[in-house]
Amino acid sequence: MPHGHASEALTKNQALVMGALSEATGPLSAYTILDQLRDDGLRAPLQVYRALDKLVEFGLVHRLESLNAFVACRQPGCDSHERTAFMICDDCGSVIEITDKALARRLKSLAQDASFALKKSTIELRGLCAACTPM
Amino acid sequence: MPHGHASEALTKNQALVMGALSEATGPLSAYTILDQLRDDGLRAPLQVYRALDKLVEFGLVHRLESLNAFVACRQPGCDSHERTAFMICDDCGSVIEITDKALARRLKSLAQDASFALKKSTIELRGLCAACTPM
DNA sequence: TTGCACACGTTATACCGTTACACAATCGTG
DNA sequence: CACGATTGTGTAACGGTATAACGTGTGCAA
């Protein structure tokens, strides 16, 4: 199996959760995932949360803090997973995932100015996507 | 009749919740606030959440999405409340509140590039503050 | 073999937030 | 003033989010 994270050998539960997120068009909550996977043998929240923890760790899934939900990573390279920004449409729920070097630089610089050892950035922009913006 | 900002005439519950947050050294969860205010007559979560909603609306309090907690706004001017960034120490829980024009500009620009009508930015940086960073 | 690391399964519980309903105070306008 | 509209309040019940504390099984390395 080629390159990096994306080819981790996932366990059964991890694969099930990853599958649910990959097929979804938008973010899913852990409990929504659980409901979708009951027929596949998942019975308890913890089974989903454990899988999600690993998938986030592998860089395959992002957690959206402002939604308490999760999305599959859509980035090609999937690097800079810790500096990804999201635009979340309050109307249709769609999520745009972006990584921007200038933004990352600015955050890094701000952290340095404050002597803050930056580990992870949560950047979630709320508003209306192009399709949902009235003309 | 909201216009001032910082000197709003708060209702009783709002003042109680604001007081709890102002005295705290760090973020408080809604339930922690409730516990602290039981002796002052607050009995139910909703009383706290209603006050918090208003305080956030007034710009006196920030919600930290990645903590599910709330902090009193420490900014002098308290403008640009929708574009504030936070550095949250994973060790001691302290919160540094900053607003940065360059950062705000970059986010606005990214949103424009995506035709995204930006309403609110959630920017929460996790890591270690200066005091908690090993030398 | 023994110990360790890790995934898994289950129950119970804690924590976060809202819905629904009812009542009181306030305020603007006719 | 009287009326309705708005806003704040109080309570109970509930639903959504996440973890604690058990215990099991497996693979692997010392």
pLDDT tens for each residue of B42-98: 999 999 999 999 999 999 999 999 999 999 998 766 566 778 999 999 999 999 999
**What pLDDT shows up at residue A79?**
66
**What pLDDT shows up at residue A82?**
76
**What pLDDT shows up at residue B135?**
76
User: Low-confidence residues of chain A, pLDDT below 50?
Assistant: 1-7
Instruction: Give the CA-to-C1' distance from B135 to D16 in angstroms.
Output: 42
Q: How confident is the model at residue B12 (pLDDT cuts 50, 70, 90)?
A: very high
With b meaning 16 or more CB within 10 Å and e meaning fewer, what string describes A112-134? Answer: eebebbbeebbbbbbbbbeeeee
Residue of A nearest to B111 (CA): A87
Residue B5 has pLDDT above 50, yes or no: no
**What pLDDT shows up at residue A5?**
43
For B77, counting Cβ atoms within 10 Å of its Cβ (0-12 exposed, 13-18 middle, 19+ buried), the class is: exposed
Nucleotides of D under 7 A from a protein CB: 8-13, 16-21
What residue has its CA nearest to the C1' of C26? B1
C-alpha distance from B60 to closest chain A C-alpha (Å) = 20
Domains and CATH numbers, chain B: 12-128 (1.10.10.10)
